[in-house]
Amino acid sequence: MANDNPLLDLDGLPRFAHIEPSQVAPALDVMLDETRATVEARLSRAPGPGWDDAVGPLEAAETRLKRFWSPVAHLNAVADSAALREAYNAGLGRLTSYQTGYAQDERVYRAYQAVADGPDFAGLSEARRKVVTNALRDMRLSGVALPAAPKARFKAIQERLSELTSRFEQNVLDATDTFSLIIEDEARLQGIPASVLAQARAEAQRRGRDGFLLTLQAPSYVPVMTYAQDRALRRQLYEAYVTRASQAGGGRYDNTTLTDEILVLRQEAAALLGYPHYADYSLATKMARDAAEVETFLTDLARRARPAALKELADLKVMAQADGISLEAWDTAYYSERLKERRYQFSEEDLRPYFPLPRVLEGLFTLTERLYDVRIRARRDIEVWHPDVLFYEITDPDGASRAQFYLDLYARERKRGGAWMDECCVRQRHPIPSLPVAYLTCNFAAPAADHPSLLRHDEVETLFHEFGHGLHHMLTQVDEPAVSGINGVPWDAVELPSQFMENFCWERDVIDLIGGHYRTGAPVPGDLFARLRSARTFQAALQMLRQVEFALFDIRLHAGFDPTTGSVHALLEAVRDEVAVLKPPAFNRFENSFTHIFAGGYAAGYYSYKWAEVLSADAFGPFEEHGVFDRATGLAFLHNILERGGEADPRELFARFRGRAPCIDALLKQSGLYETEEGA
């Protein structure tokens, strides 16, 4: 019975404890039938010029369909199984087909155009005007104006791309989960922190093995690369990691042919719409004007960072040479940590005992409450997809509920790596009011038998980053789902709230709030914090060049490159020849696991991280001037940025908050590169 299907219960939160893969297909049948019926009923008559008559029902139907699919897509990312993957892939193809057809429906286009041309358009709210203009733009970008044959081809391309990008991501997940390495000789694990070894031993025991089990999941891989004294072990894990989903990694989950086909189809789709290449098609919805502007931005950053990066690399090579080693890619994290320890008498592991995850969460919530005048409380009465998942509610001072969020913090098998925020529900007032609800996902080490999950400082930054995305989604005051929260925000501005939040992790007052020794509660010692601060710009130039390398590769890959006549790997190598100061080994196949651009929505948009970092560094200036807990500054950021979602141009919103356009100087100073540039 349809009524028994929990996926069709859209009146409240998803009933995760009751969802089964077998329910996906029949629920999708019902939802697509209902959506089509609503759309057809609306389009069967000539649209009036008003919002309520012309496009309100269409917007509501599309929002309802997205809300239905949200838990399916989320479970596919955090609780993968063969049955769910099959149901998800089949459903995704059907959903993509429907959505592309809808975006190409000339009747839908005319309905929105009637509103745009109508006498009441100027009187609509800023949000509704933006919904209409965005919808008209996006339908043009979906081929609504194409003749019949090219329109059909564009639709087929989108359906195929949906299938390919999903397979790409699943191959990376499978390649990551398939690898494991048992180490029985503990002497080979010298240097690795005891807490990591305890987790590795527990994981081996869980699988019925003796010794220590290492994986390519971040809580295992990163400590090995950073601390393991056994160079051969570091190389073994490094090679496994950078050859995931490639022929060099065994070929079982090889993504090479997928990347080529994805690129060919993206270029064909862009050409059908008259764009010279996919990059300019992608940038039609972003702040950057075209690929040339992105190239200029990135090469300028590379020029500024390269002199300092060469010095940073030289320091690393000296350290490695002292051990009789010629520095290779599997040595950089290890010797970077040794150099940091020597230069600053500081190691990330020194801080780990001071960042127990429960204390960090409590402090993060308190910071949010003080800045934005809200309250955050846990709830235990909500269905979740795993026992470790937490659930929270955000309320206004008067107790009125404002938003909710799920928190899935720990790494495990069949869960996608990395960290992200996604939407469960979007804020809306019509036709049925609903609160914004977010999924916040990380992959930290789980608690051990004798202590809670203990975070490195960079993991604290990750948590703050994703919570920043979450606040952008949850604290919005925009009632139109298409531009509420992160919706409608240009991709190269969407990282502003997330990167902005990272800045608080470097402030003493915030460290005292989020940090305390997990056994004694003692605050982070002053000298340890001073060393942390002094190390903030450690290897900032190398890190910047690494991001520029990825972003240049991305933009050039989508700006005229033809995989039928050239090699994706060769293009990446050419970018490295231009930008990188230490090239990885020939067997490196990073591109085969670059999910951001081949599966994660960042195609021709990876530059967004550095672009938005300019905004976020500059936006933090008033907090440095007035204090990190200054309520007036926090409310100004809330009202001008977080609450406004995608209803206005981000340049305008930034200017409302900062009183001027963004300036790159703040990022250069924050990265320790401003003086380098001045002295060049």
Q: How far apart are CA 430 and CA 349, in angstroms?
A: 50
Is 337 an annotated catalytic residue?
no
Q: How far apart are CA 505 and CA 464, in angstroms?
A: 8
3-state DSSP of 562-600: CCCCCCHHHHHHHHHHHHCCCCCCCCCCHHHHCHHHHCC
Q: At what angle do helices 608-619 and 291-322 cross, to 10 degrees?
A: 90
| CA of residue 250 relative to chain centroid, distance | 28
Q: How far apart are CA 417 and CA 414, in angstroms?
A: 9
Q: How many CA atoms lie within 13 A of 239 on its CB side?
A: 15
Q: How far apart are CA 409 and CA 467, in angstroms?
A: 12
CA distances from 582 to 521, 544, 568, 571, 630 (A): 42, 13, 20, 17, 43
Q: How far apart are CA 542 and CA 140, in angstroms?
A: 41
* Residue carrying structure tokens 């009441």: 120
Q: How far apart are CA 92 and CA 88, in angstroms?
A: 6
Helix (H) or strand (E) run with residue 212 in it: strand 212-215
* Residue carrying structure tokens 């036709």: 431
Q: How far apart are CA 67 and CA 481, in angstroms?
A: 11
Query: Which stretches within 323-356 are classed as H helix?
Result: 332-344, 348-351
Q: How far apart are CA 550 and CA 552, in angstroms?
A: 6
DSSP helix/strand/coil, 403: strand
DSSP helix/strand/coil, 632: helix
In this structure, the chain runs to a length of 680
CA distances from 508 to 368, 505, 524 (A): 16, 8, 9
| CA of residue 524 relative to chain centroid, distance | 29
Q: How far apart are CA 554 and CA 288, in angstroms?
A: 15
CA distances from 205 to 190, 211, 213, 221 (A): 20, 8, 9, 18
Please list, in sequence order, all residues whose beta carbon lies within 8 angstroms of the beta carbon of residue 546, skipping any fewer than 6 positions away: 580
Please identify which of the residues 159, 295, 461, 466 carries the catalytic annotation.
Answer: 466
DSSP of 438-484, one letter per residue?
EEEEEEEPPP-SSS--B--HHHHHHHHHHHHHHHHHHS-----GGGS
Q: How far apart are CA 581 and CA 546, in angstroms?
A: 9
Q: At what angle do helices 56-78 and 82-103 cross, to 10 degrees?
A: 160
Beta-bridge partners for 439: 406, 422
Catalytic residues, by residue number, are 466
